[in-house]
Amino acid sequence: MNTLSDNSSVQEQLIRDLTADLVPVRRLASPGLRALGWLAVVVAAAIALATVANLPALWHRLSGAPDMWLAVLGSAATAVLAAVAAFQLSLPDARRAWALLPLPAALLWIVASGLGCLRTRLAPDTHVADMSEARDCLMFIVGLSVPLSALLIMMLRRACTLQPGLTAAIAGLAAAAAAATLLNFFHPFDAAATDLAVHAVAVALVISANRAFSGRLLAPSFTKH
Amino acid sequence: MSRQTQDSIADDRRSAWMAAAQAGDGAAYQQLLRDCIPVIKSVARRRGVPADRLDDAVQDVLLTIHRARQTYDPRRSFTAWMSVIAERRAIDLMRRTQRQHLREVHAPLEFESHADGTADPAQGVAHAEASGTVASALAGLPARQREAVEHLVLEQRSLDEAAALTRRSKGSLKVNLHRALKALRRRVEPGS
């Protein structure tokens, strides 16, 4: 009987603590709107990179090989859908199925990139990347993913996910897909197995690093605020 | 009035309380959290949380609701929102309990009947004296230091939980625990 009343008094004390000096909170915008905020930063980065990129050469490359367009479309759509999924998963009542949202776009990205390898002729103004050029691709994707992931995780922390590992992994996919899309500005290489493998490694690295390190940042802390 | 209508009225009331809590109304928030307890217990029981851990589940969910209150959209059902949170926290609690069971064996009879090879009847008296000394040393600590020892050592709460319950900062709890342990060591250790 004593234990029962002890537990009730602990709960009562907790309720009094949580409600004392309660401050108003600003309701979060919808996940779609919040994703748009992050994507606006990605678009701003794209515009900044476009000013230093050789746009006519990029247009020439893409118009000569339709599979490259599809791959760019796939990576861009993966970034958009993964960002929306990450913001959905950041809500405490979100269903895990949101993690599947970027899957169709990711499949398009993988298949279109793979199709490029099967082409027998080279896309115009391209060559097959050697190992040092492929390493530069890896550095670009990982390097650009770091600030994009950091911003996304900072925005996701405003919510309260109860699936921190999954949310962080999907955020990593969004950042890596956005970085891979922006890489096209400086990528005069045709699709080749080694280059694609390096891209896949870079994306996997960003997702794993996000899951391992950012998952902890997203796990809710229970201090009163 | 049908059960469904009653549930719907209760849900509307909770949504209104939560919207008021988001605007900073402490009284509405208090009513809401008290009203949530039976629902949380029912969800936790359904998820297989044993009776002796139900109160842990309630505290976990209340803290989560508080931490996540800015994510609630009053146009949606509060009861559905809270029930999903309660289910997730109950599953987390069950996982934590299972991990604990894997590490520890609950065998009270074996524990009681296990012969201690190093047993010395005189030691029993010494232990009793030592635990009495610790208890009296604990009672002699200043209130804040005793509170830190009780929450963090005796009840084995995390710093976050203890900070939420005592309304002290984590830093203050750590400092008080450090001072308390130092004071206890001075009082209990022989020759000091």
Residues in chain B: 192
State the DSSP string of A5-66.
HHHHHHHHHHHHHHHTTPPP-PPPPPHHHHHHHHHHHHHHHHHHHHHHS-HHHHHHHHHH-H
Residue A153 to residue A214: CA distance in whole angstroms: 7
Whether residues B45 and B98 fall in one domain: yes
Q: How confident is the model at residue A124 (pLDDT cuts 50, 70, 90)?
A: low
* Greater pLDDT, B75 or A193: B75
Residue type, B55: D
- Residues spanned by the domain of B165: 123-188
Q: Do B29 and A19 touch (CB under 8 A)?
A: yes
Backbone angles phi, psi at A189, to 5 degrees: -120, 145
Is A133 or A147 the better-scoring residue by pLDDT? Answer: A147
User: Is B89's Cβ below 8 Å from some Cβ in A?
Assistant: yes
pLDDT score recorded for residue A83: 98
Give the model confidence (pLDDT) of A172-191 as tens digits: 999 999 999 999 888 776 66
Chain A residue set in contact with B, beta carbons under 8 Å: 7, 10-11, 13-28, 30, 90-93, 158-160, 162, 220-225
Whole-angstrom distance, CA of residue A206 vs CA of residue A165:
13
Is the CB of A22 less than 8 angstroms away from the CB of B24?
yes
Shared domain check, B22 and B98: yes
For B166, which residue in chain A has the nearest alpha carbon?
A: A17
A196 neighbors B107 (Cβ within 8 angstroms): no
Q: For A19, which of B26, B55, B80 is closest by C-beta distance?
A: B26
**Residue B169 belongs to domain with CATH number:** 1.10.10.10
Question: How close does chain B come to A213, measured CA to CA in Å?
Answer: 20
Q: How far apart are the first and last CA of chain B?
A: 72
A159 contacts B30? CB cut-off 8 A = no
In tens digits, chain B (192 residues) has pLDDT values of: 677 788 888 889 999 999 999 999 999 999 999 999 999 999 999 999 988 889 999 999 999 999 999 999 999 999 999 999 999 999 999 988 888 777 777 676 677 677 776 666 666 666 666 667 777 778 888 888 888 888 888 887 888 888 888 878 777 888 888 888 888 887 776 554
* A58-71 pLDDT tens trace: 888 777 777 788 99
**Which pair of tokens denotes residue B176?**
């008080």
A24-74 pLDDT tens trace: 999 999 999 999 999 999 999 999 999 998 888 888 877 777 778 899 999
Cβ contact, residue pair A14, B59, below 8 Å: yes
Of B21, B68, B167, the CB nearest to A92: B68
Q: What is the C-alpha separation between A138 and A74, in angstroms, rounded?
A: 19
Domain co-membership, B87 together with B29: yes
Q: Which of these three, B47, B71, B103, is where a domain ends?
A: B103
Contact between A31 and A87 (Cβ < 8 Å): yes
B91 and B41 co-located in one domain = yes
State the pLDDT confidence band at A6, using cuts at 50, 70 and 90.
Answer: low
Same domain, B88 and B172: no
Instruction: Sketch the domain layout of chain A as residue ranges.
Output: 31-218
Contact criterion met (CB < 8 Å) for B67 and A221:
yes
User: Is B59–A11 a contact, with Cβ atoms under 8 angstroms apart?
Assistant: yes
| Rounded Cα–Cα distance for residues B34 and B161 (Å) | 19
- Contact between residue A164 and residue A156 where contact means Cβ atoms under 8 Å apart: no
Residues B93 and B164 in one domain: no
Assess whether B128 and B179 both reside in one domain.
Answer: yes
Main-chain phi, psi angles of B87, to 5 degrees: -60, -45
Number of domain units in chain B? 2
DSSP A162: S
Asked, for residue B2, whether it belongs to a domain, the answer is no
Asked whether this complex has an ipTM greater than 0.85, the answer is no
A101 to chain B, minimum CA–CA distance in Å? Answer: 21
Interface with chain B: mutation pick from A160, A166, A218, highest number of B CBs within 10 Å: A160
Task: Enter the DSSP assignment of A30.
Answer: P
Nearest CA in chain A to B91: A162
Q: Say if B51 is an interface residue toward chain A (CB within 8 Å).
A: no
Token pair listed for B10: 């209760």
How far apart CA B145 and CA B161 sit, in angstroms, is 16
CATH of the domain at B35: 1.10.1740.10
pLDDT of residue A4: 54
Please state whether the predicted TM-score (pTM) of the whole model is above 0.90. no
Same domain, B144 and B87: no
